[in-house]
Structure 1
Amino acid sequence: MSDNMTNSTNCPEEKIISGILVAMYSIIFIGGVIGVIVMSFTLFKSNTRSVTTTAVINLIMVHGVFLLTIPFRIMYFVKNEWILGDPFCKIVSAMIHVHMYLSLLFYMITLVIRYLIYFKQKDKFEFYRKLHAVAASAAVWAVVVVVIFPLFFGQYGTSNTYNTSKCFHFQGEFNKLGVIILNYIVIALVFVMVCAFLCLQVCIIVGVVRKLQGPILAHQEFSAQMKSLFFVMVMVVCYLPYHMFRIYYLNHLSDCKIVMYNEICLSITAISCFDMLSFMVRSNYLKQWSVCTALRK
């Protein structure tokens, strides 16, 4: 067993942080499930040929698959012992990373489509037929299942011998220089892309505000851009903290507290499961505000 692994499993703060993680994942699970169910019924009546709707449907699927693994995370942090075997531990451990990057991908697809609609002055982008939307989604998932999953799971947790009664402690993988370099590349890419989307969205909103007259919340164009800003802020709040902390984490792997803090940062990425529920609440609020503004006129 590696020294990193030994230190992380005897960390004095482990019980306290485990309690925090149990509370966080419990809230995320409840809110995420409610959001997925409610949004699924809402999208059932939507135009399924819309590219944006297709991306959101896939995003819901990503959340749904990940939410299935959260009870196992809660069980582990409650018992502080893993009893379901090493292979399943790797699957549950890897799924939070898969969820994060797939969600990030579909957020970006959604934003790109919304920006194209804005700049090209179109109402929407649609697939020619519903079958095309299904085929596009199937192609993305086929790449994930057939290519990414086997590569990921084939290499994940193979560099060291780990304590099978513990889970989510695979920092021994960072003994490989290639793994460290890959992490820095991913961190840089995520930071640059998220910041680029944020800057672009702020510029668009400023341009819209300057163009509009009267109460801006009453305008559909402003409301549409606020929806895009919502997706950008999910990426900023949920994903940037983890990737920024990752830089410090990669240089302090021997510190047991850092390993547990990394788990907290990972749990923050799972808060993105609230996006559907938050999006619906915010959309309803803006609709009510627009109605009230219109009545005052």
Structure 2
Amino acid sequence: MEEFSSNATNQTSPIFPVSYRVGLVVLYTPVLLGGSVGIVLMSTSLKSSKSVTTVSVINLLVVHLLFLLTVPFRIYYFISDQWALGLDFCKLVSSMIHAHVYLSFIFYIVILVTRFLNYFQWRGRLKFTRVLHAFVASLTVWVIILGTLLPATIINYGSEATTGEKRDNVCFHFGSALSRTPIEVLNYIICVVVLLVCTVLASIQLWILRQVYRKYGRVSLNHQEFWAQLKSLCFVLIMFFCFVPYHGFRIYYVSSYWDGLQKVNEVFLAFTAFTCFDMLMFAGRAVWRNTGTQCCNLCSKR
């Protein structure tokens, strides 16, 4: 009788307690709103260009757009605590946030490395000669990430039902796949690579910023070069805020997986979605510059 009661409790206990579900809704709602506004502003301010930075920004915009299309389904699930859209769609929605993390990560690297090379005056090598070349380069990155991530998620994640769970009503609970050694090793490798790359990029950016400050001294704020490096530093800070905490925790999560850590992992994963706010930073400068130009023209006409 006691065993039956215990099993019944396990079957009805939620994967995500109310406090976590409320917190996740609070995190994803501004991401959805702010990210959507950023995409709209950025799409109206982008100009045609073959530069590596512009192509990377366009790719980032598409990455954020595809991810934001899945965010309402995440909010729906955390509000209702029931998934009624099927396991396959759950896997797709779940894999999109991971695709968003690593596609964004790659394009951030490209943007930062491009800006670093600009500092060393290698600008002549940082443009695509043809639009086709930009398309092929972008497509290659997409195929590598989506071609490996989506099949692995669909095949491995959710293939083992967790005891006491109804898989057709539960989503984002695929942690049992981490018990497989190849997946565990792959997670370790990805986490270490992300953390090392973030550290190296941050070190380079701080060194460049220090060199620029030494060059201009107290009047650094009056020089565009210093502000350009501060903008690059903002990208580094976005990477550290959004990617480092999640991958640092994930090492612990993978090494000592148990069901109770699933909800904590989901919170750290939600913080990676705040990269969607980068479009506001991209678009902000262009919007304010255009607004200022229009105001000046209006004043001159008067």
State the TM-score, normalized to the length of structure 1.
0.86
Question: Relative to structure 1, is the Cα distance of residues 211 and 113 closer, same or farther in structure 2, using a 3 angstrom cutoff?
Answer: same
For the residues of structure 1 that align with 2:11 and 2:221, how far apart are their CA atoms? 50
Kept in 1, the 8 Å contact 2:35–2:68? The answer is: yes
Deviating more after overlay: 183-192 vs 154-163: 154-163
> CA separation of 1:13/1:89 partners in 2, compared to 1, >3 Å: closer, same or farther?
closer
1:178 deviates by 1.6
Q: Secondary structure at the match of 1:224?
A: helix
SS at match of 2:168: coil
CA RMSD of aligned residues (A): 2.6
Residues 87-126 of structure 1: pairs in structure 2 closer than 5 A: 87-122=88-123, 125-126=126-127
Go from structure 1 to structure 2 and tell me whether the alpha carbon gap of 1:12 and 1:179 turns closer, same or farther (over 3 Å shift): closer
The match for 2:297 is none
- Larger mean CA deviation between 263-272 and 11-20 belongs to 11-20
Asked if residue 34 in structure 1 is aligned to residue 24 in structure 2, the reply is: no
Establish whether residue 181 from structure 1 lines up as the match of residue 182 from structure 2. no
Q: Corresponding residue for 1:293? A: none
Contact 1:242–1:266 (CA under 8 A) maintained in structure 2:
yes
Please say which of residues 260-269 and 11-20 is displaced more in the overlay.
11-20
Change in Cα spacing, 1:249 to 1:221, as seen in structure 2 (3 Å) is same
Q: State which drifts further: 151-160 or 34-43.
A: 151-160
Q: Is the 8 A contact 1:160 1:173 kept in 2?
A: no
8 A contact 1:217–1:223 mirrored in 2:
yes
Moved runs in structure 1, 4+ residues, more than 6 A? 6-9, 282-288
Q: C-alpha separation between the residues in 2 aligned to 1:13 and 1:68?
A: 22
The percent identity for this pair of structures is: 42
In structure 2, the partner of 1:253 is: 257
For the residues of structure 1 that align with 2:192 and 2:12, how far apart are their CA atoms?
Answer: 30
1:222 equivalent among 214, 221, 226 = 226
One-letter amino acid of the structure 2 residue matched with residue 115 of structure 1: F
Distance 2:184 2:51 in 1: 39
- In structure 1, what is the equivalent of residue 56 of structure 2? 55
Verify the 8 A CA contact 2:31 2:276 in the aligned structure 1.
yes
Q: Size of the alignment, in residue pairs?
A: 280
- Could you say if the C-alpha distance between residues 74 and 60 of structure 1 is closer, same or farther in structure 2, counting changes exceeding 3 Å? same
Report 1 or 2 for greater relative contact order, CA contacts < 8 Å, sequence distance ≥ 6.
1
- TM-score by length of structure 2 reads 0.84
- CA 1:147–1:188 in 2, change beyond 3 Å: closer, same or farther? closer
Instruction: Show the 5 A alignment for 1:82-231.
Output: 82-122=83-123, 125-160=126-161, 163-231=167-235
Distance in 2 (alpha carbons) for counterparts of 1:40 and 1:89: 29
Mapped contact 2:25–2:75 kept (Cα < 8 A): yes
Measure, in 1, the Cα distance between the counterparts of 2:289 and 2:217. 18
Taking structure 1 as reference, are residues 54 and 8 closer, same or farther at Cα in structure 2, changes over 3 Å only? farther
- How many angstroms does 1:103 deviate by? 0.4
CA contact 1:8–1:259 (8 Å) conserved in 2: no
What residue is the counterpart of 1:264 in the other structure?
267
Secondary structure (helix, strand or coil) at the match of 1:167 reads: coil
Unaligned runs of 5+ in 1: 1-5, 289-297
Structure (1 or 2) with the larger CA radius of gyration:
2
Unmatched 5+ residue regions in structure 2?
1-8, 292-302
1:242 and 1:152 map into 2 onto residues whose CA distance is: 19
